[in-house]
Structure 1
Amino acid sequence: MSQQYFNDSNVIKSVMDFNYTGDCTAEPFIIAYGIDKNFLYGCGISIASILLTNPGVPLEFHVFTDFFSDEDRSRFEALAKQYGTRIVVSMIDCEKLKSLPSTRNWTYATYFRFIIADHFAGKTEKVLYLDADIACQGSIQELVDLRFTDEEIAAVVVEGNTNWWQKRAVSLDTPGLKNGYFNAGFLLMNIEKWAEEGISTKAINMLRDPAVVSKITHLDQDVLNMLLVGKARYVDKKFNTQFSINYELKEQVVNPVDDSTVFIHYIGPTKPWHVWATYPVSHAFLNAKQHSPWQRDALLSPANANQWRYAAKHYFKQKKYLAGVSGYLNYFMHKVK
């Protein structure tokens, strides 16, 4: 029996549908994002990167957000028109989410993935949820063709190593996690099974339970790992290859991104849309930007003390010494405000 925690009528305030698919009748593969205003730029380029590298694949994109300006509307509609695709933007009422746990790095927008899962219940078989700091550089046909077994609720990509899994298994009191712990930035959801198992309802109830909240450090990602033990299919790391651009500051950089990588997940505070993030690993993002309505938009400058500090470090790494000195001066100025 299907169970949803979120009802469209209670959480979706309005919808903008940019449909430029023309006469195409093929069943589209649905990709969805749940974001706040800080990730709209990244989301637009992420969509562009998928379209750029997967011509001929019928795709449909859904963006769930609580902020969308007239300029955002113009850009996303232009993107749909440029690639002859469909982009649906749903404006979310966040009141039901604001009482859930959040941190500086994990806002209530992280819970939009539950709204997404419930929104599509009864409408389609599967939906690919992606974080907006993901760029595509290869074919996703393998995901389009993937068929779930009767027991599988989602397809996921492992995070960390066996030591990390063991630590998560102990701290979350979930022994099964010793066999694998996944990153929830990539989540191919078996919509019917997700609804049948009431995953969104169970997750939200757990996030309201003080006993559970006292254990978790990665909010809904931890909760999803606890709920999906033995019910998730692990797919190749090429579909969620994580790399922090701040790793570039180390003496020796081990970059897992290679020609086989499909999705690059830019974890950490420095994103490829930041002006100080000009490294080869940012190429997939920057190339997609050049083939999108954001082509002429500047990369983002530092907006707070933390960003100025990272910008200064990266400028020195890049031998841009004047910019580095300026970055540290701005860092100290913002820090004393």
Structure 2
Amino acid sequence: MMDIDNVKTISFGDSNKESKHIAFCCDEKYVKYVGITVSSIIDNNPEEKFAFHIFVDLIGQDDKEKLQLLASISGSSIHIHVIDNKIFGRMQLPENSGNLSIATFYRFIVPAILKDKAKKVLYLDADICVCGKLNDLFEIDLENKLAAVVEDFGEKQINSATRGSERLNLSRYFNAGVILFNIKNWNKYNLTDKSIKMSLEKVYTMADQDILNILFKDQVVFTDEKYNYQCSMSNELDNKKWEWERDIPDDICIIHYICGSKPWHSWTSNCKLVKNFYEPVLRKSLWKDVILVEPLSYKEMHQAYRNCKLGKDLMAAIYWYFQYAVNKAISKIKM
């Protein structure tokens, strides 16, 4: 069994038996985005009391103070679990893993840390905006199951290479950005040790997501996509089928901004799913002064150009197209 005694916890506020437990795993630079997601949960579920758990290797003083204030204002508790990377530092991520960091594997210890605190815990990625009630999700019966999940976006694609079910020879494949864990059953089958062992033995195409799909085979409840509504702004931009014009169903509860382009990137500012949902939460939150990330790669610059074009900002569109063309040419010369 992994030694979890080395995990140090900083708590702001107290949880009780009525608290709904929600967990996040991230590195230091993503804590602010977790704070925004937490704010979206509190805003849309004012009658609920939550216990938020943030698993992180480091945390800055500014984010720590804001989380403490948020706990005080909301009446929910916030617990920061500081991870020793001694074990996780030996794990390897797949090539071209983009925004992923070693922190993605922290979720393997979440049910072990919380085994005496809750029966269920909802794990959420940091690139999420909650825009509805979570009560019905927590009420899903997991008595003989390991988790409640939602099918992965890639399973609906024409290209079979994107379908995890075919890669791993599974009947179905879920997205690991939203998982309601059955804590008792996870620990009953010693899945913390098993998942860590798998991640040390092999590099999986989709990292922890593949590992969890393998371990959870036929032991999950597949629930409605409204609890993990996955939108890939990167894919839509690249394929000229813009996410900007998408209208989402009224009952959507959790928006998940998957793939490379995120709602904190400047080149997604004209996306309806960002403007109508994420930005209002951001502006009201304690992280309202967070600076949007600007494009660095030529591909991101091209997306910035298309974003500006959509927003009818002609001068900015010309600027980013010029930057895109120059940087793409430079990258080809260096190859």
Give SS of 2:267's match: coil
Q: Give the superposition deviation at 1:309.
A: 4.0
Q: Kindly tell me: are residues 315 and 143 of structure 1, through their superposed partners in 2, closer, same or farther at Cα, counting changes over 3 Å?
A: same
Q: 1:326 aligns with which of 284, 306, 319?
A: 319
Give SS of 1:311's match: helix
Count how many residue pairs are aligned between Structure 1 and Structure 2: 318
Q: Kindly tell me: are residues 117 and 316 of structure 1, through their superposed partners in 2, closer, same or farther at Cα, counting changes over 3 Å?
A: same
Q: Kindly tell me: are residues 256 and 100 of structure 1, through their superposed partners in 2, closer, same or farther at Cα, counting changes over 3 Å?
A: farther
Cα distance in 1 between the residues matched to 2:197 and 2:22: 26
Aligned to 1:224: 212
Q: 2:189 aligns with which of 197, 210, 221?
A: 197
Aligned to 1:280: 272
Aligned to 2:178: 186
Query: Partner letter of residue 311 of structure 2?
Result: Q
Residue 33 (structure 1) aligned with residue 33 (structure 2)? no
Q: Give the superposition deviation at 1:118.
A: 1.6
Cα distance in 2 between the residues matched to 1:43 and 1:94: 20
The percent identity for this pair of structures is 29
Cα distance in 2 between the residues matched to 1:38 and 1:161: 32
Report the more deviating stretch, 235-244 or 66-75: 66-75
Q: Kindly tell me: are residues 38 and 323 of structure 1, through their superposed partners in 2, closer, same or farther at Cα, counting changes over 3 Å?
A: farther
Query: Partner letter of residue 139 of structure 1?
Result: K
Aligned to 1:71: 62
Kindly indicate whether the alpha-carbon contact (under 8 Å) linking 1:59 and 1:85 is maintained by their aligned counterparts in 2.
Answer: yes
Aligned positions of 1:4-19 closer than 5 A: 5-10=1-6, 12=7, 14-19=8-13
TM-superposition CA deviations, 1:109-133 (whole Å, max 9, x none): 1101012122112332110000010
Q: Kindly tell me: are residues 95 and 321 of structure 1, through their superposed partners in 2, closer, same or farther at Cα, counting changes over 3 Å?
A: farther
Residue 128 (structure 1) aligned with residue 122 (structure 2)? yes
Give SS of 1:121's match: coil
Kindly indicate whether the alpha-carbon contact (under 8 Å) linking 2:140 and 2:148 is maintained by their aligned counterparts in 1.
Answer: no
Query: TM-score by structure 1 length?
Result: 0.85
Kindly indicate whether the alpha-carbon contact (under 8 Å) linking 1:122 and 1:192 is maintained by their aligned counterparts in 2.
Answer: no
Q: What do you get for the CA RMSD once the two structures are aligned?
A: 2.6
Cα distance in 2 between the residues matched to 1:195 and 1:35: 22
Cα distance in 2 between the residues matched to 1:165 and 1:333: 30
Aligned to 1:239: 227
Residue 252 (structure 1) aligned with residue 247 (structure 2)? no
Query: Partner letter of residue 48 of structure 2?
Result: V
Q: Give unpaired runs (5+ residues) of structure 2.
A: none
Bigger relative contact order, structure 1 or 2 (CA pairs below 8 A, ≥6 apart): 1
Q: Give unpaired runs (5+ residues) of structure 1.
A: none
TM-superposition CA deviations, 1:56-108 (whole Å, max 9, x none): 11211011112211111122122222222211112211121122121432321
Query: TM-score by structure 2 length?
Result: 0.86
Aligned positions of 1:88-107 closer than 5 A: 88-103=79-94, 104-105=97-98, 106-107=100-101
Q: Show structure 1 runs of 4+ deviating over 6 A.
A: 334-337
